[in-house]
Amino acid sequence: MNRLFLSRLWLDGLSVGLLLLGFAYWWLGNLVHEVTGAAMFLLLIAHNFFNRRWWGGIPRTRREPRSLVNLGVTVVLLGAMLALLVTSVLISNALSPFLPPWGGFTVRQIHTLAAYWVLIIVSIHLGLRWPMLMGIARKLFGIRKPSALRTLLLRAVALGIALHGFWSCTVLGLGGKLSMQMTLDWWDFEASVAGFFVHCAAVAGLVMVATFYGLQPVQRGRPSTNRPTTAAERTEPAPQG
């Protein structure tokens, strides 16, 4: 497998890890939080640079449900990331001496709102690419033959993650955070640090599982075609084998 491609996947995984890390503001402190966010946005810029052909291929995207969903999710994710970036600059303590006093309470609320929506949309983004990621995993582990037992075990794991994700949504008060409601219910990092990240990862897993299985009827109902996909219909080249 192409080493550059694997390196890009590692960088993408690192950016997701930094996103999750950024939610732990009250554990990290402001300075580490801002450095984490800056590093994440640098990786995001690199991600879009590597996938510039995808953006150029948008006019040639096939007008079918999965491709249109992929395009819509990517555009919405871009908008959410821009909102997160703009509010980050406005409330940054490091930049505050050079900026007007725009970073008030409302901007901080919008920043938090954008961050949690980014988590959801990134998870949908990954769920759309789950078949590709599973193909890469099979390639790396040298799995060549299908296995009914392995498929059953993986589906059981996915179900377990989804159930944990439902519980995590309640524990984290995700509904209020996604609707910009006022809340004083913040995670107690003195009681547990790892638990917070487990809950965040479970929420992401729930959304990924829901996205993947929710699109299965669309995938099965898609008419077969031998026409090669365009750059706008994929983020990375699918592994062969």
DSSP string, 54-105: HHHTGGG---SHHHHHHHHHHHHHHHHHHHHHHHHHHH-TTTGGGS-S---H
HSE-CB of 73 using CA atoms within 13 angstroms:
24
Which stretches in the chain have pLDDT values below 50? 224-241
DSSP, collapsed to helix, strand or coil, labels residue 176 as: helix
Of 169, 174, 181, the closest CA to residue 116 belongs to: 174
Q: Report how far residue 233's alpha carbon sits from residue 241's, in angstroms, rounded to the nearest whole number.
A: 20
Q: What is the pLDDT of residues 27-43, one digit of tens each?
A: 988 889 999 999 999 99
Of 75, 166, 158, the closest CA to residue 121 belongs to: 75
| pLDDT for the residue numbered 238 | 38
**CB of 60 within 8 A of CB of 230?**
yes
**Full-model pTM:** 0.83
| pLDDT for the residue numbered 230 | 44
| pLDDT for the residue numbered 77 | 95
Q: Where along the chain do its domains lie?
A: 3-221
| pLDDT for the residue numbered 235 | 41
